[in-house]
Structure 1
Amino acid sequence: MPTCNETNMSPATFLLAGIPGLEADGPWISIPFCSMYLIAILGNGLILFVIKTQQNLHEPMYLFLSMLSVTDLGLCVSTLPTTFSVFLFNAREIGIDVCLAQLFSIHTFSVMESSVLLAMAFDRFVAIRHPLRYASTLTSARIGNIGLAIIIRGSGLHIPSVFLLKRLPYSKIQPLSHSYCLYPDVMKMACADTKPSSFYGLFVVLSSLGLDSVLIVLSYIMILQTVLSITSWQERLKALNTCVSHICVTLLFYTPLISLSMILRFEKKALPQSQILLSYLHLLLPPVLNPIAYSIKTKEIRKRIMKIFQNYSTNRLQWGH
């Protein structure tokens, strides 16, 4: 715990960090980051455009997919400004209010993404286990209420987090471990008792990401039971095929997170680079790869995207003439 005295107390300024040992290569490191952010923004924006413009895609599965794209865009926008400031311009200073706003945004969208993945698991469960009641169960109004509940849950859990961190005293300048602000990172910089903040942070993780992951696993256990009760192998494969994209995006979201938690808990001598890399993967991989996974596995979206590019190519040829 840092020590505070009257000469170096708040208002605090935090120092963001790049990748340890590679600070001089920041402009080069920014190139792959820039590419990933660009792919994530274009990919999720394209998914949203396709779903919005195609009336036949205004169905539960695609509406949940649009929610997933919104949360992915939110994660990108939350981390992009400071990440580029650090790697491109070595601008590392960030005020406490801006830092708290950023960590609130990052953690809120992270919980919202976990909630959307849970809702999508429920969607697949109803579609496979109760196909005749699918349309009557997941109506547009009910999906809207689920979306509102996801927003309230994500933001409501983290509003107290901001106040808990805001009330803590900090030294005037504190170095953080990432190019963006995270709750545990900022909490460690406080020079006071952080047990209430630590306990609340644990409660948030267990009641959101922890609970959601357990419910998703239970959903797929019941889905598997239903699939195994189908006599036709073709029908079994057809049912499971509708879940492949969701399984992929769920693994993309939770695997880096679980790996990071395991390293922090059991690998005390782990390189800081590995921890930071997993943190970047957790926040960047899902927004980049989720649109790709659904574009490849979902025929309706794939056909519409291909049509958009074909129309674009045709228009360019016409303009060329």
Structure 2
Amino acid sequence: MTETAVYAAGGVIWRLVESKIKVLLIHRTAYRDITLPKGKVDPGETLAETAVREIFEETGIRVSLGVPVGVSRYHMPNKRQKIVHYWSAHATDAAIRSSAFVPNREIAAIEWVSPKKALKRLSYPVDVEILENFLRFVEDGVLETFPLIVLRHAKALTREEWKGKDAARPLSPRGRKQAGAAVGQLLAFGPHTIVSSPAVRCVKTVVPLSAATGRRIERTTLISQDAWEEGGSDARRIVGERVRARRPAVLCSHGPVLPDILSEIALATGTLRGSYLGSASALDTGAFSVVHLSATNPGSGIVAIETHEPKV
């Protein structure tokens, strides 16, 4: 991020009504315009966290993020550039029923309309472009997706600092901060399952996420560094289970194992492998890549990959 630009995030919120897509527009009170839900990044927030928070604050609907659908850039009246990142987000029936939205000083109304009507009614060309990006996914047969989140463990004590077994090497003070700070980022993508190498540095990385979600950590040596070094790892089996499940999942592992995990996701979904896999697996400690797959047809290939750096 640059110091001069103003960053914001939001989403194209969608639902199915009698098998037809509807997208959510907001009518802003002060500006008397029609736009997509979005808002500025708060101090200490990541873009993904901002998108989920702003969508909830403006619509009352809690969502998990789907595929990224673009970035809009424009200059505000004060000449500063505003950069807005958008994701697709499915509004479930339960989330819509739970919405406590009422018209307020910021948002006068929210409205579900067809994409065709939305394209005509949006007040700004940059919003139209974002919606058109979303509709390209729809035209390609990709609407409902699920993420596999490949997470490298947070910063651990170095081998020189630790005299015990490598698998028992704990997180450093910075690593513990990274693990706690990652929770909001990871929650933005709605993980249902947490799978981890049994190494202490991996398990401790996802303990805060487990506490926040109430979901247990599934430990497996099949993605551990010890097994990888001994030739006994099996990322294919773990990835296959997660792709078949078609549910959002976090896979926490080690730097040397991550390329195997990304490669197996590509193989399991019939995706052509390329340099992008190397970029997605070359993660710093505490960073993660989100691999978006079609929930209706995972074999159609990877839909999108995005990488998120640690906050600490």
Q: TM-score, normalised on structure 1? A: 0.22
> Is the strand fraction higher in 1 or 2?
2
Q: TM-score, normalised on structure 2? A: 0.23
Structure number with greater Rg is 1
Q: Relative contact order, CA 8 A, sep 6+: which one is greater? A: 1
